[in-house]
Structure 1
Amino acid sequence: MKTLTNIFLTLLMVGFMQSCIVSEKPNIDFFQNSQYDFKGAQFASINVPMVLAKSYIKKALREEGESEETINLVKKASKIKVLTVTNGSSKMLSDYEQFLNNNHYEEWATIKHDGDNINIRVKQDGEIIKNMLITVGSNKNEMVFVDVKGNFTANDISKMINTVSDK
């Protein structure tokens, strides 16, 4: 019985760790479209297992002096996907924004910070925000896309945006 339990725990841990592996295949819907010509763009994607990551993320945010609003937002997240793109283009970003518009994502904020443009879009189900997409684009054709799933309120997102805007 103990051997069976150890095997189960080992398989469970391997499953968690496997989702931490960085992949060169995109993990965000628009970029998974095989018919789109990405013209030499290179991808690196990470699926963050929230069971393992929440405590580390909250600790790092506290060490960096982030507000409790931001830390509470992490508590409500159920899944995070990160995608980095190098050699991207402004056309690709424009097409991505059109894809989001077509899929009912609302633009909530655009913040300029140290030469980077940070765009926050959300998809609501009634009063609850089920999905938040954060896009960070720089002038160097490098982009970062963060797809956060969870159960957020408009107030949660507004507090986080205000905290980032104040800095």
Structure 2
Amino acid sequence: MKTLRHISLALFTIGMLQSCMVSGKPNMEFFSDSGYDFKGAKMTSFNVPVFLAKPYIKRALREDGESEEVISLVKKVSKIKILTIENGSREMLKDYTQYLNNHDYEDWATIKHDGENVNVRVKQNGDAIKNMLFTVNSDKEMVFVDVKGNFTAEDISKMINSVSNK
């Protein structure tokens, strides 16, 4: 029985460590399509273990003076994937936007700050929002954050308003 527990614990630990690993391969659908020519763009992706990230995110939001309403949104997050791209082109970003439009993602907000654009897109099914995509692009690199969870339109509006007011 103890051996079974030790093996289970070892497999669980290995599984958790793997989710923290950084990869040179893209972890988002559009970018993992082998048919697209990314023309020398360097990609780095990783999956964020949510159970480890939630306390850190909540603490950082509190330190930044965010409201408890915004901090409570973190509880609704179930999965986070991040992809960074160096040497990406505007054409690639345009093609990605078209891909999202074709897959029922709605553009909810674009926030411009210090030469960077932050775009928020959501995939909605009725009143439920199960997926949010954040795209941050500047002249040098692009960052894509895919957040899965169980959100409402009001949750997303509060988050956008909080960021816009700063």
Task: Give TM class, smaller chain.
Answer: over 0.9
Q: Secondary structure at the match of 1:134?
A: strand
- Is 2:104 the counterpart of 1:104? yes
Q: Does 1:163 pair with 2:162?
A: yes
Give 1:68 shift: 2.0
Q: What letter corresponds to residue 146 of structure 1 in structure 2?
A: V
Where does structure 1 lack aligned partners over 5 or more consecutive residues?
A: none
Structure 1 stretches of at least 4 aligned residues deviating more than 6 Å after TM superposition: none
CA distance in 2, matches of 1:14, 1:61: 30
Once residues 96 and 156 of structure 1 are traced to their aligned partners in structure 2, the CA distance between those partners, rounded to angstroms, is 25
Q: How far did residue 60 of structure 1 move?
A: 2.2
Unaligned 5+ segments in structure 2 are none
1:134 corresponds to which letter in structure 2? Answer: F
Tell me what 1:151 maps to: 150
Pairing of 1:6-155 with structure 2 (within 5 A): 6-140=6-140, 142-155=141-154
RMSD: 1.0
Q: How many percent identity over aligned positions?
A: 69
TM-score normalized with structure 1 length: 0.96
State the alpha-carbon separation in 2 of the partners of residues 11 and 52 from structure 1: 18
How far off its partner does 1:42 sit?
0.5
Residues of 1 paired with 2:57 and 2:6: CA distance? Answer: 28
Aligned equivalents of 1:53, 1:157: Cα separation in 2: 20
TM-score, structure 2 normalization: 0.96
